[in-house]
Structure 1
Amino acid sequence: MKQLAILSIARRRRLLNDEVLTALAESSWEILDISGSDVTDVGLATVANVCSNLRAVDISRCEKITNAGVSKIVSHCLSLEILRCGGCPRSEFTARRCLNLLKPKLNTLEEDSWEELDTLDIGGGAESLRWLVWPKIDDNSKETLAAECPRVTINPQPSLYDLSGSKVPVEALASVPLDHSIVEDVDPKTWAVSAAPRRPVAPSNPNDPPEIPIAERFRLAYVEREARLAPKRAKRERQQRRRAERDYMMNDIDARSIALASQASRNLRKS
């Protein structure tokens, strides 16, 4: 979760690229929001190999990602349910080029009996995809997907239900950033970009220590922030615990009776 938080902050500060992404990637990730970043097909392919459990991916407004990168995500992340795309001319073009990747396919079967077939032998394409967030989808693409991918819901709304009766996941709502839950407790000042003018960069000295990679700087900043906020969180948890105990004592008759009896007993002993 910490790595994802660092990734989300880097994206918001417009510092997310292949180097940062590949340095932070973890196999436990289930969501990936690289929208509006400088990530390329190379970085996306690397993440597809590492994070094979991804179920929601946002590549909208990514000008350096093509259908080749999306193909890696589709082929390696077999649990992919939600895909966000479009948002800029290049990303719109990539989304249209990816239509064939989303269509179900029947592979060439060479086994002698059905018992010997594996699920992967029967079908291909984005078999698990159920939600496609593409706000400016063109009519032709929409008709194609509706005809050939009826299992995929395009631009779902909060009140929409699919055929199985399951509610639309919040990750499939265009109005909510995909990585919102990752940074909802993080102060927005963390990713605020200073408007101060840049100072001229002095020539590097070969005797100077090597510059810390940007991913490591983000990690250190996150660790420092966690250490700084830990006392405040502990205090807040104690206050919440005391408040809960007080509410319990006020609302529970038995607990209130015991408390009153204990107080009366102390008063009698003092007298």
Structure 2
Amino acid sequence: MSFPGSPLEKTKPRRLVSLCLGVLGKHFEDITADLSEIAANFPADIKMAMLAIARRRKLLNDEVLISLAESSWEILDISGSDVSDSGLAKVAEICQSLQAVDISRCSKVTPLGVSELVHHCRSLEILRYGGCPRSDYTARRCLGILKPELNNAEGESWEELDTVEIAKGAQSLRWLVWPKIDEDSQESLATECPRIIVNPKPSPFGFRGVEVPREALPDIALDDLIVKDINPKTWAAVCGITPRPVVPSILSPTELPMAERFRLAFVERDTRLAPKRAKNARQHQRRAERDWVMTSTDAKSIVLASQVSRSLHSRS
């Protein structure tokens, strides 16, 4: 019997696609120039995994984000990246089904970018920002963007209002994660945006009687689940993260991990086929030269001239 975290616990081998994403992620900076062409036919979940890797490798900017953006995305985590208002506005136009967005520690995002996000993404329920002085400053200036404006609304409470009566503002926003919110901003939101719950905490009974979504918990990254099967070494060298040790399998103490066996098998096959590929290349080159000689008049002239020259030299 083995217990979680014990050396005898059997680990599930990573999927082949996760191994490939790990290799691709380690060399991400080499493909950024052609990323839009490379990722054009990738599925939406693969693009999101590449985005998560780029963010962790500190390579996420406007160009990378726009190259990977997919209209079916419902979450977007660009926290701590170099994405600016331009990139955020463009991806908001493309990904209008976004429900949870993390722009915390994005020093290049201003209220203009947040305004575009709120305007295009009408299903946005969770917003995470702040986390650094510049982002906190932006968050304070965004209060007016989140506050609703009413069109002759009638009713005694916010709960009685229909969404069509809310002219502007973050109509569907319900959860706001802003770790270092100041008292004035918190009081303003509580008074003018009572539908928005700020910095909810996990509880077995929910928050104010409402179950808190996983994406609204501040200690959980939005894209953690997306890269859970990818080796942390993919970005550890850049971010200074200490990867979790690989737990050996209980099958055999000397058995190699699946990823290493896969790599060695590929290297062995490549080495075994190398002479055959070289031979085929030489045969192809000779065949091409022979075909050229048989079909080209100039080549025939050169061959005949060479033969005549050798004949004259031999007679002399």
Please state which band the TM-score falls in when normalised by the shorter chain: 0.5 to 0.7
Aligned with residue 182 of structure 2, among 132, 135, 138: 138
Deviation at 1:171, TM superposition (A): 0.4
Partner Cα separation in structure 2 for residue 194 and residue 148 of structure 1: 43
Partner Cα separation in structure 1 for residue 152 and residue 69 of structure 2: 34
Partner Cα separation in structure 2 for residue 108 and residue 146 of structure 1: 22
- The unaligned stretches of length 5 or more in structure 1 are 110-117, 196-227, 233-271
2:96 corresponds in structure 1 to 52
Distance 1:24 1:119, change over 3 A: same
Aligned with residue 161 of structure 1, among 206, 223, 247: 206
Partner Cα separation in structure 2 for residue 194 and residue 181 of structure 1: 20
Distance 1:194 1:44, change over 3 A: closer
1:179 corresponds in structure 2 to 223
Partner Cα separation in structure 1 for residue 174 and residue 166 of structure 2: 19
Partner Cα separation in structure 2 for residue 141 and residue 121 of structure 1: 24
1:246 corresponds in structure 2 to none
User: Residue 26 of structure 1 aligns to a residue in which SS?
Assistant: coil
- Number of residue pairs the alignment of both structures matches: 190
Distance 1:194 1:181, change over 3 A: closer
- Provide, for residues 41-64 of structure 1, a one-character-per-residue CA deviation record: whole Å limited to 9, x for no partner: 000000000000000000000010
Whether the 8 Å CA contact 2:57–2:238 is kept in 1: the answer is no
Q: TM-score, normalised on structure 1?
A: 0.66
Partner Cα separation in structure 1 for residue 127 and residue 165 of structure 2: 24
Partner Cα separation in structure 1 for residue 152 and residue 116 of structure 2: 20
2:108 corresponds in structure 1 to 64
Runs of 4+ with >3 A deviation: 118-122
1:33 corresponds in structure 2 to 77
Q: TM-score, normalised on structure 2?
A: 0.57
Over the aligned positions, Cα root-mean-square deviation in angstroms equals: 2.2
Partner Cα separation in structure 1 for residue 195 and residue 237 of structure 2: 41
Partner Cα separation in structure 2 for residue 30 and residue 173 of structure 1: 17
Whether the 8 Å CA contact 2:201–2:207 is kept in 1: the answer is no
Q: What residue identity is the alignment partner of 1:84?
A: R
Deviates more, 1:14-23 or 1:180-189: 180-189
- Which structure's CA Rg is the greater one? 2
Q: What residue identity is the alignment partner of 1:5?
A: A
Partner Cα separation in structure 2 for residue 194 and residue 14 of structure 1: 8
User: Residue 32 of structure 1 aligns to a residue in which SS?
Assistant: strand
Deviation at 1:162, TM superposition (A): 4.6
Deviation at 1:191, TM superposition (A): 1.6
Deviation at 1:161, TM superposition (A): 2.6
